[in-house]
Amino acid sequence: MKMAAVSLLFVLLLQKSEAKVSSIIVFGDSSVDSGNNNYIPTVLKSNFKPYGRDFEGGKATGRFSNGRIATDYISEAFGLKPTIPAYLDPAYTIQDFATGVCFASAGTGNYDNATSKLLSVMPLWKEVEYYKEYQIRLRNYVGNHKANQLLREALYIISIGTNDFLENYYLLPHRRLEFSIEDYQQFLAGIAKQFVTQIYELGARKICLTGLPPMGCLPLERTTNLGKCIHTYNDVAVAFNGKLEGLVQSLNKDLSTMQLVLSAPYAVVYDIIQNPHAYGFEHSAKACCGSGRFEMSYLCDNHNPLTCSDATKYVFWDSFHPTDRTNAIVAQYVFNKFLAVFQ
């Protein structure tokens, strides 16, 4: 009976690999972490209520949302599973990871490893080490030929960068003493180039690099600016996204067998924030959890009496992260506008 089940799964994997996208493989930060931080010694966790209260079964999975995150919705849009499991979650096996796996770590060093040290989370290089381990496990599971095919047909989503600016550059003085903001953007773009090249050399051929959101309009930042967006931060996001666009064009020329796209959700997120009622929201300046101005992670807990009762009315769940409903809207926008080449 077990042999029959394994054979059936192998047939399903063969069928899935014939699709244009065989799986979703995720690198990044809290915007796409589906629970890896639950299993590392860091204070930056969300595996407790009210996080996950609108997730299936009301489970707090470690996603920084009341429900699903954008990569979950993208996976479902490609006809894959509706949620992407965290690689460090022992409840999942290589069978589960064969059609989608997340290596992201909330608060991670993103492009700048110095950022990850602030909260003792996984730096980007560690995410890559786990990916290499995953490759070995996948080859042992389905064989070299099949594994190479699955890895080649997978869509790699890289969602990183915001923490490098907000946690590292603007919050602490070290990088500001070392770099001007323009030089820091160039520094990060250079690391992004190295990272894309590295996973390309490891077999990635379909890659989506995600641009920065309007980070000056996050509730946490608005709290420090009398409730208004910090437009200098938004300007930096736009400028950095422009550098990433140039990087994408350059890498597509240099690595001709790779298909790299820049997903730029800045415009839709900014429009949602500025015109929440047009999208069916009532609140965009403050979040649902707590007072909606500064709470995140352990400051957003089930004992806070101020947390809203209906998160669908809010653009943001906590002071840094979108609600499930916002994630769904942004994911659909990204899927239709930027990921169409992979469909």
- The alpha carbon of residue 4 and the mean position of all alpha carbons in its chain are separated, in whole angstroms, by 36
Catalytic choice (17, 22, 23, 30): 30
Query: Measuring CA to CA, how many Å separate 269 from each of 25, 92, 174, 214, 322?
Result: 23, 32, 30, 7, 10
Structural tokens at position 224: 């420090």
Helix (H, G, I), strand (E, B) or coil at 253: helix
* Catalytic option among 116, 297, 321, 324: 321
Is residue 231 annotated as part of the catalytic site, yes or no?
no
Cα distance between residue 24 and residue 75, in whole Å: 6
Encoding tokens for residue 167? 């946690």
Known active-site residue 321:
yes
101 Cβ contact list (under 8 Å, min separation 6): 23, 25, 26, 84, 85, 87, 134
324 is catalytic: no
| Helix, strand, coil share (%) of the chain residues, nearest 5 | 50, 10, 40
What would the DSSP string read from start to end of 211-236? Answer: PP--GGGSHHHHHTTTTS--HHHHHH
> H or E stretch including 330?
helix 324-337
Structural Rg of the chain based on CA atoms: 19
Give the C-alpha separation, 87 to 188, whole Å.
26
Whole-angstrom distance, CA of residue 291 vs CA of residue 306: 6
How many Cβ atoms sit within 10 Å of the Cβ of residue 201?
Answer: 9
Catalytic annotation, pick one of 29, 112, 318, 324: 318
Give 328-331's long-range contacts (Cβ < 8 A, gap of 24+). 328/68, 328/70, 328/73, 329/268, 329/272, 329/279, 330/70, 330/265, 330/268, 330/269, 330/272, 331/70, 331/71, 331/72, 331/73, 331/74, 331/77
Give the sign of the dihedral formed by CA 280, CA 29, CA 107, CA 134: positive
Give me the active site residues, please: 30, 318, 321
